């Protein structure tokens, strides 16, 4: 029987996921024959659903909120970047049946910044707002770019301090939002989940250096609250996470199919859909 290779994204909620469209555009472009679906999977059902998916011949899964930590536990083998981040967004069935877990979020972010927007992180003073799963996935890849310093600021300071201790690096430190007063950064990332619900941490004036840029890891059809804030601060670039979304997907596609799709046309298509 002629079967088609099966891939899927699991998450909860999953209704607005762009991943099926992104992967079908990649498949068209690279002439790969595959099927990619989105499935709502609550946290408690992840293990049984993932097991069933792979037993029925599924080759690869993407996992999104709130499943990245359980996907990390589910994997039989981990990439180094997934091991460090303690979160997995991509699972792949290996030829021997074991499940390999990777985290392509961080590399997706770095590729978007450096290749699509010509921004460098080397020697830059960098701030990440938030200390949850999204932050966990990007700390390692940012530190690999050798910034001058990387500060994690969070509403609950203990969470930021724990992350900083865990990654333990000379250039890395943590603080609460109040301690940001009087500090200045070349690049500010929003990795809190606040922006999508229209919230923003209370940030001091002059936090962004002249010619500095802002990047919201979140992505929406209209400008997120953080993107708007970045523009108000006269950021050189105030970007949302559409490029990161497509780049992390391309990295997963590459892991599964061994072929790297072009991301620019897919980013352009997604941007054209937002009006």
Answer yes or no whether residue 250 interacts with ligand ATR by CB under 6 A. Answer: no
Q: 40-69: which residues touch ligand ATR (CB under 6 A)?
A: 65
Which of 76, 80, 199, 262 contacts ligand ATR by CB under 6 A?
Answer: 199
Q: Which is nearer to ligand ATR, 21 or 86 (CB)?
A: 86
Is residue 108 within the footprint of ligand ATR (CB under 6 A)?
no
* 166 Cβ neighbours under 8 A, 6+ residues apart: none
Q: Which of 18, 68, 92, 124 is catalytic?
A: 68
Q: Measured at the alpha carbon of residue 76, what is the angle toward residues 59 and 260, in degrees to the nearest 5?
A: 45
86 binds ligand ATR (CB under 6 A): no
Task: Give min distance, CB of 158 to ligand ATR, in A.
Answer: 9
What the block records as the tokens of 266 is 């897919």
Give the C-alpha separation, 55 to 49, whole Å: 10
* The binder of ligand ATR chosen from 73, 156, 206, 221 (CB under 6 A): 156
User: Of the two residues 23 and 136, which places its CB atom closer to ligand ATR in the complex?
Assistant: 136
| Binding footprint of ligand ATR, residue count (CB under 6 A) | 16
CB 173, min distance to ligand ATR, A: 16
| 147 part of the interface to ligand ATR, by CB under 6 A | no
Among 11, 101, 133, 243, binds ligand ATR (CB under 6 A): 133
| Site for ligand ATR contains 245 (CB under 6 A) | no
18 classed as catalytic: no
Q: Binding of ligand ATR at residue 11 (CB under 6 A)?
A: no
For the annotated catalytic residues, the residue numbers are: 68
The footprint of ligand ATR (CB under 6 A) covers: 65, 130-134, 154-156, 159, 191-194, 199, 201
């Amino acid at each position: 029987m002629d079967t088609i290779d099966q891939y899927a994204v699991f998450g909860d909620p999953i209704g607005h996921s762009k991943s099926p469209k992104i992967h079908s555009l990649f498949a068209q472009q690279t002439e790969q024959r595959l099927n990619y679906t989105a499935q709502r999977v609550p946290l408690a059902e992840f293990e049984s659903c993932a097991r069933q998916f792979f037993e029925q011949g599924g080759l690869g899964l993407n996992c999104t909120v709130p499943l990245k930590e359980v996907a990390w536990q589910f994997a039989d083998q981990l990439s180094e970047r997934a091991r460090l981040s303690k979160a997995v967004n991509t699972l792949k069935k290996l030829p021997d049946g074991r499940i390999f877990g990777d985290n392509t979020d961080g590399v997706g972010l770095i590729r978007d910044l450096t290749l699509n927007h010509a921004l460098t992180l080397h020697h830059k003073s960098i701030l990440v707002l938030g200390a949850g799963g999204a932050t966990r996935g990007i700390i390692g890849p940012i530190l690999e770019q050798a910034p001058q310093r990387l500060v994690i600021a969070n509403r609950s300071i203990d969470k930021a301090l724990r992350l900083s201790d865990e990654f333990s690096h000379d250039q890395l430190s943590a603080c609460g939002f109040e301690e940001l007063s009087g500090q200045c950064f070349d690049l500010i990332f929003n990795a809190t989940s606040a922006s999508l619900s229209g919230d923003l941490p209370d940030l001091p004036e002059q936090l962004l250096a002249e010619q500095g840029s802002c990047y919201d890891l979140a992505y929406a059809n209209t400008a997120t609250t953080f993107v708007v804030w970045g523009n108000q601060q006269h950021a050189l670039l105030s970007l949302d996470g559409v490029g990161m979304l497509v780049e992390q997907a391309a990295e997963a596609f590459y892991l599964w199919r061994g072929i790297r799709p072009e991301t620019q046309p897919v980013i352009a298509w997604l941007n054209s859909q937002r009006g």
